[in-house]
Structure 1
């Protein structure tokens, strides 16, 4: 059992453990990755049943527990069998087969939470795009360009992080040595769930036909201890 940053106990669930990138401690604080079901700060597992890992507010989880405890008093034998809800309650339907009787408001909230759960989790998504540098304004009506301005560079992008510091790193594949690292603040961005970022590394993209990746990039959510998947890249090319 492990404690989250919210002080809540996290149970080890088979199949949900994710291994952190090897030798990651040189760029981030070493810790065991808590897995893809980690909720962002401010959310907790609903636990309408033990395996229900939908992320909800603490108030909602408290209400769910209260509804679970009151279920026997809200059932009657009727048109839908012995678990027919007494008026004015309805089945919650938080998961398939959920026949706990709740108010219509709680049923609607359960459906809404189901739809929002993935956006409330630290999925630590990371992807790479490329960019080039344009002419530099000299401030006197002229501009300066260099021979490397048109060479593509690597931009690390992410979503589904906690709001706050995310550490980024690129490592060589053959020996796992650290090539580059930086920190970025994940913020709200339109169209991207959770904390998001786009970081210009300044490092050249060395990918080319017949040139396989020789390194990988990853991100680390410092608040939860979650790592992203490794994203292959090619680095270290000679630039004249």
Structure 2
């Protein structure tokens, strides 16, 4: 799900009179990381001061988890929505605001959006604007992760003899206990002759300890598999390969 439902609601609440939305920008960091139990702050900066209603600055914070609709956490800068845990607090004024999460839990891993409200008054017209930041992804891990990135453990599983008899071969690489979540898996295939294959990757899953697991699957015809000498699964972060796990074809069941 996206922020479409909120955007539709805000469109209904706003009065547009031809003024460009580009006049107001809301800036957030793309990502932050935190250990479980630690305190993390997410900053939000607006290009113009937000509207003040009474003594309250009109800025809200939303949380969106994968596959779910956004949920409002904070409104009027520091007022918690009903049912939101006390570990979520908001602060700030004018154009600088902060969402603070004290005692971060693994379940707090999500994307956080700030939403600002502006009253633009010129000589010709008055317009009201709700503007969203681009969102900040919070990644949560265990304390020891923050001594450095946690290198995932790799395991490569070859095709079964039953599958080979059906004319196909599937090789899976399982990556466990990695942090943060921006690791990627790739394959190297060493063999003779022309070999073609397809790759696919599962979604990243965060475990209860805050670390991440995922997998990549290599699929190829059985006759191509018989030309393979070895396959190697590599875990990379950015341009650096930091873990690899080979599998020799002759170690696997034969058709």
TM-score (structure 2 length as normaliser): 0.31
- Name the one with the larger strand percent: 2
